[in-house]
Amino acid sequence: PAPLLRVEGLCQYFKTQDGRTVHAVESLTFDIKRGHTVGLVGESGSGKTTAGRAILRLLEPTAGQVFFNETDVLSLPSKEMKRYRQKMQIIFQDPFSSLNPRMRVSQIIGEALNTAGYPKGEARKARVEELLQRVGLQAEHADRYPHEFSGGQRQRIGIARAIAVEPDFIVADESVSALDVSVQAQVLNLLGELQRSLGLTLLFIAHDLTVVEYLCDEVVVMYLGRVMERGPCREVYARPRHPYTQALLSAAPVPDPTRKKQRIVLRGDIPSPISPPSGCVFRTRCPYATALCAAGVPAEQHVSDEHWVSCVRLHELNLQEQGRHDNAHQ
Ligand code: SF4
Protein backbone atom coordinates (compact mmCIF):
# COMPACT_ATOMS: atom_id res chain seq x y z
CA PRO A 1 0.00 0.00 0.00
CA ALA A 2 1.05 3.61 -0.63
CA PRO A 3 2.46 5.34 2.48
CA LEU A 4 0.16 7.81 4.23
CA LEU A 5 2.84 10.48 3.98
CA ARG A 6 5.64 10.78 1.42
CA VAL A 7 8.13 13.62 1.62
CA GLU A 8 10.16 14.15 -1.53
CA GLY A 9 13.08 16.52 -1.97
CA LEU A 10 11.74 18.96 0.62
CA CYS A 11 13.85 22.13 0.98
CA GLN A 12 13.30 24.98 3.37
CA TYR A 13 15.55 28.02 3.04
CA PHE A 14 15.35 31.31 4.87
CA LYS A 15 16.94 34.64 4.03
CA THR A 16 18.94 36.40 6.72
CA GLN A 17 18.67 40.17 7.13
CA ASP A 18 21.89 40.65 5.20
CA GLY A 19 20.58 38.59 2.31
CA ARG A 20 22.39 35.30 2.93
CA THR A 21 20.56 31.97 2.63
CA VAL A 22 20.03 29.59 5.55
CA HIS A 23 19.74 26.01 4.29
CA ALA A 24 17.56 24.73 7.13
CA VAL A 25 16.24 21.64 5.33
CA GLU A 26 17.88 20.27 2.20
CA SER A 27 16.41 17.56 -0.08
CA LEU A 28 14.55 15.72 2.68
CA THR A 29 13.03 12.46 1.44
CA PHE A 30 11.31 9.74 3.47
CA ASP A 31 7.90 8.21 3.95
CA ILE A 32 5.61 7.08 6.74
CA LYS A 33 3.35 4.08 6.43
CA ARG A 34 -0.18 4.38 7.70
CA GLY A 35 -0.33 3.58 11.42
CA HIS A 36 3.45 3.82 11.85
CA THR A 37 5.48 6.13 14.03
CA VAL A 38 8.63 7.64 12.54
CA GLY A 39 11.21 9.37 14.71
CA LEU A 40 12.97 12.39 13.20
CA VAL A 41 16.15 12.87 15.21
CA GLY A 42 19.19 15.11 15.29
CA GLU A 43 20.96 17.70 17.42
CA SER A 44 19.59 21.20 17.68
CA GLY A 45 20.32 22.92 14.39
CA SER A 46 19.70 19.72 12.40
CA GLY A 47 16.54 21.14 10.82
CA LYS A 48 14.15 18.59 12.31
CA THR A 49 11.65 21.09 13.78
CA THR A 50 11.68 23.17 10.59
CA ALA A 51 11.09 19.98 8.62
CA GLY A 52 8.05 19.11 10.79
CA ARG A 53 6.53 22.52 10.20
CA ALA A 54 7.28 22.49 6.49
CA ILE A 55 5.59 19.08 6.15
CA LEU A 56 2.42 20.49 7.75
CA ARG A 57 2.77 23.61 5.59
CA LEU A 58 2.94 25.85 8.64
CA LEU A 59 5.85 27.25 6.62
CA GLU A 60 5.89 27.61 2.84
CA PRO A 61 8.66 25.22 1.73
CA THR A 62 11.16 26.44 -0.86
CA ALA A 63 10.98 23.25 -2.94
CA GLY A 64 9.81 19.66 -2.84
CA GLN A 65 6.60 17.76 -2.38
CA VAL A 66 4.64 16.35 0.54
CA PHE A 67 2.14 13.70 -0.49
CA PHE A 68 -0.60 13.02 2.01
CA ASN A 69 -2.76 10.14 0.83
CA GLU A 70 -1.13 10.65 -2.57
CA THR A 71 -2.16 14.33 -2.79
CA ASP A 72 0.64 16.89 -2.89
CA VAL A 73 -0.48 19.21 -0.11
CA LEU A 74 2.17 21.80 -0.93
CA SER A 75 0.54 22.50 -4.27
CA LEU A 76 -3.01 22.82 -2.91
CA PRO A 77 -4.71 26.24 -2.98
CA SER A 78 -5.09 27.52 0.60
CA LYS A 79 -8.86 26.94 0.58
CA GLU A 80 -8.43 23.24 -0.11
CA MET A 81 -5.56 23.07 2.31
CA LYS A 82 -8.01 23.90 5.09
CA ARG A 83 -9.64 20.51 4.65
CA TYR A 84 -6.28 18.79 4.99
CA ARG A 85 -5.30 20.84 8.05
CA GLN A 86 -7.84 18.91 10.03
CA LYS A 87 -6.24 15.62 9.04
CA MET A 88 -2.74 16.80 9.94
CA GLN A 89 -2.21 18.11 13.46
CA ILE A 90 0.72 19.16 15.63
CA ILE A 91 1.56 18.84 19.31
CA PHE A 92 4.03 21.56 20.20
CA GLN A 93 7.17 21.26 22.27
CA ASP A 94 6.36 23.68 24.99
CA PRO A 95 3.23 22.94 27.01
CA PHE A 96 3.71 26.27 28.80
CA SER A 97 3.45 28.58 25.83
CA SER A 98 1.35 26.63 23.34
CA LEU A 99 -1.91 27.05 25.28
CA ASN A 100 -3.59 30.46 25.47
CA PRO A 101 -3.43 31.42 29.18
CA ARG A 102 -6.66 33.43 28.97
CA MET A 103 -8.77 30.57 27.69
CA ARG A 104 -10.40 27.81 29.70
CA VAL A 105 -9.57 24.25 28.66
CA SER A 106 -13.10 23.87 27.31
CA GLN A 107 -12.50 26.88 25.03
CA ILE A 108 -9.06 25.67 23.92
CA ILE A 109 -10.42 22.29 22.84
CA GLY A 110 -13.71 23.87 21.73
CA GLU A 111 -11.80 26.10 19.31
CA ALA A 112 -10.33 23.03 17.61
CA LEU A 113 -13.82 21.48 17.43
CA ASN A 114 -15.09 24.73 15.88
CA THR A 115 -12.69 24.49 12.97
CA ALA A 116 -13.94 20.94 12.40
CA GLY A 117 -17.54 22.18 12.30
CA TYR A 118 -18.53 20.26 15.44
CA PRO A 119 -22.01 21.30 16.68
CA LYS A 120 -22.16 23.62 19.71
CA GLY A 121 -24.08 23.04 22.95
CA GLU A 122 -24.35 19.92 25.08
CA ALA A 123 -22.84 17.60 22.46
CA ARG A 124 -19.70 19.70 22.33
CA LYS A 125 -19.44 19.85 26.11
CA ALA A 126 -19.73 16.07 26.24
CA ARG A 127 -17.08 15.73 23.51
CA VAL A 128 -14.63 17.97 25.43
CA GLU A 129 -15.15 15.90 28.58
CA GLU A 130 -14.71 12.67 26.67
CA LEU A 131 -11.44 13.98 25.16
CA LEU A 132 -10.13 15.03 28.57
CA GLN A 133 -10.84 11.58 29.96
CA ARG A 134 -9.22 10.03 26.89
CA VAL A 135 -5.93 11.77 27.77
CA GLY A 136 -6.11 10.91 31.47
CA LEU A 137 -7.62 14.16 32.81
CA GLN A 138 -10.96 14.68 34.52
CA ALA A 139 -14.15 16.12 33.05
CA GLU A 140 -14.11 18.85 35.74
CA HIS A 141 -10.81 20.13 34.35
CA ALA A 142 -12.71 21.67 31.41
CA ASP A 143 -13.47 24.85 33.39
CA ARG A 144 -9.91 25.52 34.45
CA TYR A 145 -7.17 27.67 32.92
CA PRO A 146 -3.78 26.35 31.70
CA HIS A 147 -1.83 27.82 34.66
CA GLU A 148 -3.76 25.56 37.02
CA PHE A 149 -2.08 22.48 35.52
CA SER A 150 1.37 20.88 35.72
CA GLY A 151 3.60 20.60 32.62
CA GLY A 152 2.56 16.99 31.99
CA GLN A 153 -1.13 17.85 32.32
CA ARG A 154 -0.75 20.77 29.93
CA GLN A 155 0.85 18.49 27.40
CA ARG A 156 -2.15 16.16 27.80
CA ILE A 157 -4.41 19.14 27.00
CA GLY A 158 -2.29 19.80 23.88
CA ILE A 159 -2.77 16.15 22.90
CA ALA A 160 -6.54 16.35 23.51
CA ARG A 161 -6.66 19.44 21.27
CA ALA A 162 -4.73 17.63 18.53
CA ILE A 163 -6.93 14.49 18.55
CA ALA A 164 -10.18 16.49 18.92
CA VAL A 165 -10.60 16.82 15.15
CA GLU A 166 -9.89 13.11 14.51
CA PRO A 167 -6.69 13.58 12.51
CA ASP A 168 -4.93 10.80 10.59
CA PHE A 169 -1.48 12.24 11.09
CA ILE A 170 0.18 14.07 13.99
CA VAL A 171 3.56 15.75 14.23
CA ALA A 172 4.76 15.60 17.84
CA ASP A 173 7.50 18.21 18.02
CA GLU A 174 9.80 17.49 20.96
CA SER A 175 6.59 16.91 22.86
CA VAL A 176 8.16 15.45 25.96
CA SER A 177 11.51 17.28 26.01
CA ALA A 178 10.37 20.00 28.41
CA LEU A 179 9.03 17.49 30.95
CA ASP A 180 10.67 15.64 33.87
CA VAL A 181 11.80 12.13 33.02
CA SER A 182 9.05 10.39 35.02
CA VAL A 183 6.38 12.59 33.44
CA GLN A 184 7.95 12.01 30.02
CA ALA A 185 7.34 8.28 30.37
CA GLN A 186 3.66 8.83 31.18
CA VAL A 187 3.11 11.15 28.21
CA LEU A 188 4.99 8.73 25.92
CA ASN A 189 2.80 5.88 27.09
CA LEU A 190 -0.27 7.98 26.39
CA LEU A 191 0.96 8.83 22.88
CA GLY A 192 1.73 5.18 22.17
CA GLU A 193 -1.65 4.07 23.46
CA LEU A 194 -3.54 6.71 21.42
CA GLN A 195 -1.52 5.89 18.33
CA ARG A 196 -2.58 2.24 18.57
CA SER A 197 -6.20 2.75 19.58
CA LEU A 198 -6.93 5.58 17.12
CA GLY A 199 -4.79 4.15 14.33
CA LEU A 200 -2.77 7.38 14.16
CA THR A 201 0.30 7.93 12.03
CA LEU A 202 2.94 9.88 13.93
CA LEU A 203 6.04 11.88 13.13
CA PHE A 204 7.88 12.10 16.42
CA ILE A 205 10.55 14.80 16.43
CA ALA A 206 13.17 14.39 19.14
CA HIS A 207 16.83 14.75 19.99
CA ASP A 208 16.67 11.88 22.45
CA LEU A 209 17.39 8.58 20.73
CA THR A 210 16.23 6.46 23.65
CA VAL A 211 12.78 8.01 23.48
CA VAL A 212 12.60 7.40 19.72
CA GLU A 213 13.60 3.77 20.07
CA TYR A 214 10.85 3.27 22.64
CA LEU A 215 8.07 4.75 20.53
CA CYS A 216 8.97 4.50 16.84
CA ASP A 217 8.91 1.94 14.04
CA GLU A 218 11.33 3.80 11.78
CA VAL A 219 13.91 6.50 12.38
CA VAL A 220 15.25 9.31 10.17
CA VAL A 221 18.55 10.80 11.36
CA MET A 222 19.18 14.40 10.26
CA TYR A 223 22.31 16.49 10.41
CA LEU A 224 22.59 20.07 9.20
CA GLY A 225 19.37 19.87 7.20
CA ARG A 226 20.12 16.56 5.47
CA VAL A 227 19.23 12.93 6.10
CA MET A 228 22.24 10.85 7.11
CA GLU A 229 20.50 7.54 7.68
CA ARG A 230 16.96 6.21 7.73
CA GLY A 231 15.45 2.82 8.29
CA PRO A 232 13.60 0.50 10.68
CA CYS A 233 14.48 1.33 14.30
CA ARG A 234 15.42 -2.22 15.26
CA GLU A 235 17.95 -2.35 12.44
CA VAL A 236 19.39 1.16 12.77
CA TYR A 237 19.75 0.86 16.54
CA ALA A 238 21.25 -2.63 16.41
CA ARG A 239 23.66 -1.76 13.61
CA PRO A 240 23.96 1.92 12.77
CA ARG A 241 25.87 2.38 9.50
CA HIS A 242 26.39 6.12 9.24
CA PRO A 243 29.28 7.56 11.30
CA TYR A 244 26.94 10.27 12.64
CA THR A 245 24.32 7.78 13.80
CA GLN A 246 27.08 5.70 15.35
CA ALA A 247 28.31 8.76 17.27
CA LEU A 248 24.81 9.73 18.42
CA LEU A 249 24.06 6.22 19.60
CA SER A 250 27.41 5.85 21.30
CA ALA A 251 26.55 8.90 23.43
CA ALA A 252 23.05 7.72 24.36
CA PRO A 253 22.49 5.76 27.56
CA VAL A 254 21.87 2.07 26.85
CA PRO A 255 19.00 0.40 28.64
CA ASP A 256 20.45 -2.99 27.73
CA PRO A 257 23.89 -3.48 29.36
CA THR A 258 24.72 -6.44 27.06
CA ARG A 259 24.92 -4.02 24.14
CA LYS A 260 28.52 -2.99 24.31
CA LYS A 261 29.60 0.26 22.82
CA GLN A 262 32.52 2.58 22.60
CA ARG A 263 31.86 6.28 22.93
CA ILE A 264 32.64 8.19 19.74
CA VAL A 265 33.32 11.82 20.54
CA LEU A 266 32.71 14.23 17.70
CA ARG A 267 35.10 17.12 17.34
CA GLY A 268 33.90 20.70 16.98
CA ASP A 269 30.41 22.11 16.71
CA ILE A 270 27.73 21.74 14.12
CA PRO A 271 28.63 24.22 11.30
CA SER A 272 26.36 27.09 10.31
CA PRO A 273 23.53 26.26 7.91
CA ILE A 274 24.40 29.51 6.12
CA SER A 275 27.59 27.99 4.78
CA PRO A 276 27.32 24.21 5.16
CA PRO A 277 30.44 22.21 4.18
CA SER A 278 30.57 21.17 0.53
CA GLY A 279 30.15 17.48 -0.25
CA CYS A 280 29.13 15.52 2.85
CA VAL A 281 27.90 18.10 5.38
CA PHE A 282 29.16 15.89 8.20
CA ARG A 283 32.74 15.80 6.96
CA THR A 284 34.11 18.55 9.27
CA ARG A 285 33.26 16.35 12.27
CA CYS A 286 33.46 12.87 10.86
CA PRO A 287 36.30 10.67 12.19
CA TYR A 288 36.50 8.87 8.82
CA ALA A 289 36.46 11.87 6.45
CA THR A 290 38.82 11.80 3.46
CA ALA A 291 39.23 14.09 0.43
CA LEU A 292 36.63 11.95 -1.32
CA CYS A 293 33.95 13.20 1.10
CA ALA A 294 34.33 16.79 -0.13
CA ALA A 295 33.83 15.86 -3.77
CA GLY A 296 30.06 15.77 -3.84
CA VAL A 297 26.94 15.26 -1.75
CA PRO A 298 26.78 11.50 -1.03
CA ALA A 299 23.86 9.76 -2.71
CA GLU A 300 21.67 7.58 -0.50
CA GLN A 301 22.84 3.99 -0.61
CA HIS A 302 20.57 1.07 -0.05
CA VAL A 303 21.69 -1.13 2.83
CA SER A 304 18.79 -3.52 3.20
CA ASP A 305 15.04 -3.53 2.98
CA GLU A 306 14.12 0.07 3.78
CA HIS A 307 17.43 1.06 5.29
CA TRP A 308 19.32 3.89 3.53
CA VAL A 309 22.62 5.59 4.33
CA SER A 310 24.26 8.72 2.85
CA CYS A 311 27.98 8.06 3.09
CA VAL A 312 30.46 7.60 0.23
CA ARG A 313 32.66 5.34 2.36
CA LEU A 314 29.81 3.12 3.52
CA HIS A 315 31.09 -0.14 2.02
CA GLU A 316 34.71 0.48 2.89
CA LEU A 317 33.82 1.27 6.53
CA ASN A 318 31.60 -1.78 6.72
CA LEU A 319 34.43 -3.98 5.53
CA GLN A 320 36.74 -2.49 8.17
CA GLU A 321 34.16 -3.13 10.82
CA GLN A 322 33.62 -6.64 9.54
CA GLY A 323 37.39 -7.20 9.69
CA ARG A 324 37.55 -6.03 13.31
CA HIS A 325 34.66 -8.28 14.14
CA ASP A 326 36.27 -11.30 12.48
CA ASN A 327 39.60 -10.67 14.27
CA ALA A 328 37.86 -10.47 17.60
CA HIS A 329 36.44 -13.94 17.02
CA GLN A 330 39.66 -15.64 15.96
FE1 SF4 B 1 32.14 10.64 6.99
FE2 SF4 B 1 32.82 10.86 4.43
FE3 SF4 B 1 30.87 9.22 5.13
FE4 SF4 B 1 30.52 11.85 5.28
S5 SF4 B 1 30.83 10.66 3.43
S6 SF4 B 1 29.96 10.35 6.80
S7 SF4 B 1 32.55 12.53 5.89
S8 SF4 B 1 33.05 9.04 5.71
Q: The dihedral of CA 241, 242, 248, 250: what is its sign?
A: positive
Per-residue pLDDT band at 2 (split at 50, 70, 90): confident
Per-residue pLDDT band at 330 (split at 50, 70, 90): low
Residue 137 has pLDDT above 70, yes or no: yes
Write the residue with the smallest CA distance to atom 3 of ligand 1: 311
Largest CA distance in the chain: 75
* In-domain check, residue 282: no
Pocket around ligand 1: residues whose beta carbon is below 6 Å from it? 243, 280, 282-283, 286, 288-289, 293, 298, 311-313
- Most confidently predicted of 95-109, 171-185, 269-283: 269-283
Going by C-beta distance under 8 Å and a sequence separation of 6 or more, which residues neighbour residue 265?
A: 247
CATH assignment of the domain containing 106:
3.40.50.300
* In-domain check, residue 263: no
* In-domain check, residue 329: no
**3-state secondary structure string, the chain?**
CCCCEEEEEEEEEEECCCCCEEEEEEEEEEEECCCCEEEEECCCCCCHHHHHHHHCCCCCCCEEEEEECCEEHHHCCHHHHHHHHHHEEEECCCCCCCCCCCCCHHHHHHHHHHHCCCCCCHHHHHHHHHHHHHCCCCHHHHHCCHHHCCHHHHHHHHHHHHHCCCCCEEEEECCCCCCCHHHHHHHHHHHHHHHHHHCCEEEEEECCHHHHHHHCCEEEEEECCEEEEEEEHHHHHHCCCCHHHHHHHHHCCCCCCCCCCCCCCCCCCCCCCCCCCCCCCCCCCCCCCCHHHHCCCCCCEEEECCEEECCCCHHHHHHHHHHHHHHHCC
Going by C-beta distance under 8 Å and a sequence separation of 6 or more, which residues neighbour residue 38?
A: 30, 32, 202, 203, 204, 216, 217, 218, 219, 220
Structural domain tally of the chain? 1
pLDDT for 263: 82
* In-domain check, residue 291: no
* In-domain check, residue 296: no
262 vs 216, residue with greater confidence? 216
Structural domain that includes position 138: 5-238
Q: Which of 245, 264, 283, 297 to mutate to test ligand 1, by most ligand atoms within 8 A of the CB atom?
A: 283
Supply φ then ψ for residue 7, to 5 degrees: -105, 125
Q: Which atom of ligand 1 is nearest to the CA of 286?
A: 1
Which tens digit of pLDDT belongs to each residue from 45-90? Answer: 899 999 999 999 999 999 999 999 999 999 999 888 888 888 999 9
Which tens digit of pLDDT belongs to each residue from 94-112? Answer: 767 788 999 999 999 999 9
Cα→Cα distances 17→14, 21, 25, 78, 256, Å = 10, 10, 19, 28, 48
What is the reported pTM?
A: 0.92
* In-domain check, residue 140: yes
Q: Which atom of ligand 1 is nearest to the CA of 242?
A: 6
CA–CA separation, 296 and 294 (whole Å): 6
Q: Is this complex scored with an ipTM above 0.85?
A: yes
Write the residue with the smallest CA distance to atom 6 of ligand 1: 311
pLDDT for 79: 87
From 89, 105, 203, select the one nearest 154 (Cα to Cα): 105
Q: The dihedral of CA 24, 4, 212, 177: what is its sign?
A: positive
**Pairing outcome for strands 226-232 and 307-309:** antiparallel
* In-domain check, residue 246: no
* In-domain check, residue 25: yes
